[in-house]
Amino acid sequence: RSPVLPRLPIKKDIAVIMYTSGSTGLPKGVMMTHGNLVATAAAVMTVIPNLGSNDVFLAYLPLAHVFELEAEIVMFTAGCAIGYGSAMTLTDTS
């Protein structure tokens, strides 16, 4: 057995495979690279530059949603806290 040595990812390495909803056909797995995720987070942070450790993000989208993934990457990068809700408390009927 040859162990795989750890290494830092590079831009073109696949970070995640996000699955589409299939609204225009069959669902598809979209390969997103580390470069994709970092570039999107950097762009968001130029629009909202003052995020920091005093801020709290309330996560309400499913964790498998691409927008939630990117929002959390931004929050982690900025040092923000993230609060998660419970599906059991989202409606008056639960």
Range of the domain at 21: 14-89
pLDDT by position in tens, the chain (length 94): 888 899 999 999 999 999 988 888 898 999 999 999 999 999 999 999 999 999 999 998 888 899 999 999 999 999 999 998 776 766 666 5
On whether residue 57 sits in a domain, the answer given is: yes
On whether residue 60 sits in a domain, the answer given is: yes
Q: How far is CA 68 from CA 2, 7, 25, 54, 93, in A?
A: 37, 26, 23, 20, 25
On whether residue 23 sits in a domain, the answer given is: yes
On whether residue 1 sits in a domain, the answer given is: no
CATH number at residue 29: 3.40.50.980
On whether residue 9 sits in a domain, the answer given is: no
pLDDT at 64: 86
Q: How far apart are the first and last CA of the chain?
A: 51
Say how many domains are in the chain: 1
On whether residue 6 sits in a domain, the answer given is: no
The answer, as to whether pTM is greater than 0.85, is: no
Place of tokens 């299939």: 22
Of 6, 17, 8, nearest in space to 69 by CA: 17
